[in-house]
Structure 1
Amino acid sequence: MGIAEEQSKASAALASSKTTSSSRDSASTAPAQRQAGKIDVLIQGVALFSDGYNIQIIGYMNTVLAKLYPKQMTTQVKTRLSNSILIGDIFGMLLFGLCIDRFGRRVGIILTTLFLVFGIILATASHGATVEGMFWMMVTGRGVAGVGAGGEYTVCTSQALECADSTPEMRRRRGMLVAVSTNAAIISGFVGSSIVSLIVIAAYGGKPSDGIWRICFGIGIILPLAIFFFRMRLNDSEQYRKHAIHSKMPYWLAIKFYWRPLLGCCSAWFLYDFVVYPFNLLAPTLVSGFSKDQSMISSIGWSALVNFFALPGSFIGALLMDRIGRRQTYALGWSIVCDFGFAIGGSMIQLKNIFPLFVVLYALFQTFLSVGPGDCNFLVSSESFPTPLRGHFLGFAAAIGKVGAAIGTTTLSEALASFDNPTKGQQAIFLIGSAISVVGTLCVWFLIPDAPVNLEDEDVRFRNYLEANGYDTKEMGLSASNT
């Protein structure tokens, strides 16, 4: 009851506070800055494309490494390699979520790029006195790269959202712009990693070689460096300059006010990543299970085709977002995923003899994962919170998602390996993934809030709430902190 009254008081004071906020803006002495445009939104997608590439490439290189080192490449080593970048992601999301709210979005660009590039170099140059030692260096390098990639989730999503809200025209398409520059970009990176893998493997005549994984890892360094200076041209958003809190962050008040959307965003992202990351990384294994005679190119090619179908799903979700609403798009995607997952799991024995049908159903399963939670996670977890908390709560929700990815990858990999009959193992993981999707549908329907029309409304609502609870808001904003 107390929280509802506090939110009512904050909302009731919205109109009067807009006048106060306008006077603060006019009093600001900050110099005029370049107006953000659509290109500034979409360039964040290029950075996240590289993250998608670097995350997914290990799924294909596991196939190569397993043929090169069949004795040393155990299930535990494979899971360790897959999870290392996810664990790094978690640290990066939490660290840079705090960093960009306190020090600005541009600081995050510099640091995340440094971590990502250094980690890729380490992984590409992996060596050791033994094969196990080489694997440990690879795990370390990918973990460091993960810190940078995880930081990019918060940096790029925050910048994309705030740029997309900078003009009335872009605001009307904010959902689509953010979805394209986040989820669609990352999935494009997944697809890009499969294309690069196929080209490099073909260049080696389809035979396993250390050169394959070193080249494929090393290519991941190109895009972060190529767009670094362009991204540095983008200034901190107007929303950040007006509402940033650089000290005395009111954490307890923030949690009291936003606990419900935070719980919803964290739950949805955890459940989504629990499903989508294992199914992406295990795609070559699932496909190869239909035939013991598949070559590396054949196995990766089929799994690449399956993962490709998530890409049109991301664009379908982007088109729906601003038309039917975030929560509705979320729930629609999840519920259809449930149907396809249970259909695949229930008929896996029959599908064993109809490989093309399995690929089609698996592809549709991936498509609707992307339509719903894949697109909505980034958008909802960034626009549900005010600017001074955006990095904090977005980073926390994304980090919880990656915890789900790490747990899901371990759990489903072990579930798949625990069955003597591979078909039974595949059946089990599809049924588990579908059951989780049912829970995800319920979470988003009951916990995800409606989107604010513009970001300023949410910022003013939070400011009013703070003032109503005795917090001094005079120090909020860059101009206040510089005086």
Structure 2
Amino acid sequence: MNGYKTDNHDRKLDAEQYNAPLAELESGSTKRTWSQTLSVLISGVALFSDGYNIQITGYTNTVMAKLYPKALTTTMKARLSNSILIGDIFGMLLFGLCADRLGRRWGIVGCTFFLVLGVTLATAAHGTTPTGMLWMIVVARGVAGLGAGGEYAVCTTSAVEAANETAGLRRRRGFMVASATNVAIISGFVGSAIVFLIVLAAFHGKPHEAVWRICFGIGIVLPLSIFFFRMQMIDSTLYQKHGIAKKPFPYKLAFKRYWKPLFGCSFAWFLYDTVIYPFNLLAPTLAAGFDSNATLLQSNGWGALINSFALPGCIFGSLLIDRLGPRQTYAFGTIMVAIFGFTIGGAMEPLNTGGTGTFAAFVVLFGLFQSFLSVGPGNCNFIVSSESFPTPIRGHFLGLAAAIGKAGAAVGTQVFPLIQARYPTTIKGHQAMFFVGSGICVLCAIVVMTLIPNRRAQLEDEDVEFRQYLEANGWDTSDMGSTKVPIPINQDGEEK
């Protein structure tokens, strides 16, 4: 018979139900409305601004290097690149906690505030000396990073839970979440390149202070433009049923049960960001290495073209997730990156010295290298790091995994230039970078396949098991959730 079972009744769980393959998602209506689909996309699309504000630094640094050659030392350039990453780390941790304790909706307010404040301060930065002005930009971008990093936890938890609301959305959960997260971020990367090239071209390809100020200022537009729509959203059904707002929070039990997937998701994200960020930031430099006479506009244009390969990659990868599974798509992407990376590293010298034709080959190979970084880890980090944990701790653990990943970005942007500098020629240094990056990708694939669990057909399956685990260990679950929604059962008396 059909009916409902309360939280206090004994639960009979069928283990096979929770490990159903993607093709065996629960039966029922698969209808989804445009409003539901739009809700998923709006939940995560603000990550576009994170991608834009991080990547724009790589382009504006080339202008600042011409304007302030003495002030913009190698150390200061690294500070400009890493300040927003460091802010990201603190934002991910802070707003990951807030998303679970205060609700997904309230995290949006804090993220938008810090992001807009930081970008505004960076755009208006001044100082009595160029060095003082650059320090103000460093601090301001750190503030912006606090908001941008918080978006990772808030946007992803909101998007993945919104994509679990109906059977129709669940069948396309991987595609929907990837579209709202990594596709949005990569679109921000590409958008930053387009904006920078347009602004630079408006100044006839010449370095000018207005170039970087305009590029920074545009980063304010998107988070403000969708803020009203995001504030109209309510917390997901899963959070209303299973969220934990009371104190104390069961941290010890949560880490005891989920330490392995947490370590796997965090380490994999760390390895990915160690590779992706330095190669994104160095793309204009790598392209310029093939033509020492390239203008500022040309070198940045080639770098933008190379980075733009990531966008079709993440779109293609989003179509694979619901067919192969997130973990399998992740590993496939990293192995393909390693193959292209080893190929580029081995052929770097003939690619560099063979003229225009081989330069085009380098652009294509490097573009595919960037593309498969998005096909696999770029798309799947968000999904595996949210689907691996139950709703009450999803923001905490997703934020922690993302923060550790961003630490990898900071490490990569520091270490890869040092690797390049250890070699006597630019070609040898670039070869070493690709070899090291490819080796890291192989290690990442091993971590994913050994430490990250397969996806669940329904997110609530893990919520139910976590609730039972807490009860078995003496933790009171009676006031979990802001609303008491009865749990449906099937004809055999088992929870759906």
TM-score if structure 2 supplies the norm length?
0.89
Question: Who is 2:139 aligned against?
Answer: 140
Instruction: Measure how far apart 1:36 and its partner are.
Output: 6.4
Question: Who is 1:229 aligned against?
Answer: 228
Distance 1:212 1:99, change over 3 A: same
Q: Does 393-402 or 259-268 show the bigger shift?
A: 259-268
AA of the residue aligned to 1:351: L
Question: Who is 1:21 aligned against?
Answer: none
Name the SS of the counterpart of 1:100 in structure 2: helix
Question: Who is 2:206 aligned against?
Answer: 207
Instruction: Measure how far apart 1:355 and its partner are.
Output: 1.1
Mapped partners of 2:387, 2:444: distance in 1: 20
Name the SS of the counterpart of 2:195 in structure 1: helix
1:387 and 2:391 aligned: yes
Instruction: Measure how far apart 1:479 and its partner are.
Output: 3.6
Question: Who is 2:316 aligned against?
Answer: 316
Question: Who is 2:473 aligned against?
Answer: 469
Conserved 8 A contact 2:44-2:158: no
Q: Counterparts of 1:8-87 in structure 2 under 5 Å? A: 13-14=12-13, 37-87=36-86
Instruction: Measure how far apart 1:35 and its partner are.
Output: 11
Output the aligned Cα RMSD.
1.7
AA of the residue aligned to 2:373: L
Conserved 8 A contact 1:46-1:223: no
Question: Who is 1:242 aligned against?
Answer: 241
Q: Does 67-76 or 397-406 show the bigger shift?
A: 67-76
1:181 and 2:185 aligned: no
Question: Who is 1:95 aligned against?
Answer: 94
Question: Who is 2:456 aligned against?
Answer: 452
Mapped partners of 1:320, 1:274: distance in 2: 24
Question: Who is 1:31 aligned against?
Answer: none
Conserved 8 A contact 1:314-1:375: yes
Mapped partners of 1:116, 1:469: distance in 2: 40
Q: Does 90-99 or 466-475 show the bigger shift?
A: 466-475
Instruction: Measure how far apart 1:422 and its partner are.
Output: 1.1
Name the SS of the counterpart of 1:282 in structure 2: helix
Name the SS of the counterpart of 2:431 in structure 1: helix
Q: Counterparts of 1:350-361 in structure 2 under 5 Å? A: 350-353=350-353, 354-361=358-365
Question: Who is 1:396 aligned against?
Answer: 400
Question: Who is 1:25 aligned against?
Answer: none
Instruction: Measure how far apart 1:45 and its partner are.
Output: 3.8
Mapped partners of 1:178, 1:288: distance in 2: 36
Specify which of 366, 372, 394 is matched with residue 370 of structure 2.
366
AA of the residue aligned to 2:268: A
Mapped partners of 1:166, 1:419: distance in 2: 54
1:426 and 2:425 aligned: no
Instruction: Measure how far apart 1:63 and its partner are.
Output: 0.7
Mapped partners of 1:467, 1:320: distance in 2: 38
Conserved 8 A contact 1:49-1:188: yes
What's the CA shift string for 1:270-323, capped at 9, x where partnerless?
Answer: 000000011001111111111111111111111111111111111111111000
AA of the residue aligned to 1:106: R
Instruction: Measure how far apart 1:13 and its partner are.
Output: 4.0
Instruction: Measure how far apart 1:415 and its partner are.
Output: 2.0
Mapped partners of 1:137, 1:423: distance in 2: 35
Which runs of no fewer than 5 residues in structure 1 stay unpaired? Answer: 1-10, 19-33
Distance 1:359 1:12, change over 3 A: farther
AA of the residue aligned to 1:428: A
Instruction: Measure how far apart 1:233 and its partner are.
Output: 0.5
Mapped partners of 1:207, 1:45: distance in 2: 36
What is the aligned-residue identity percentage?
A: 62
Mapped partners of 1:59, 1:467: distance in 2: 50
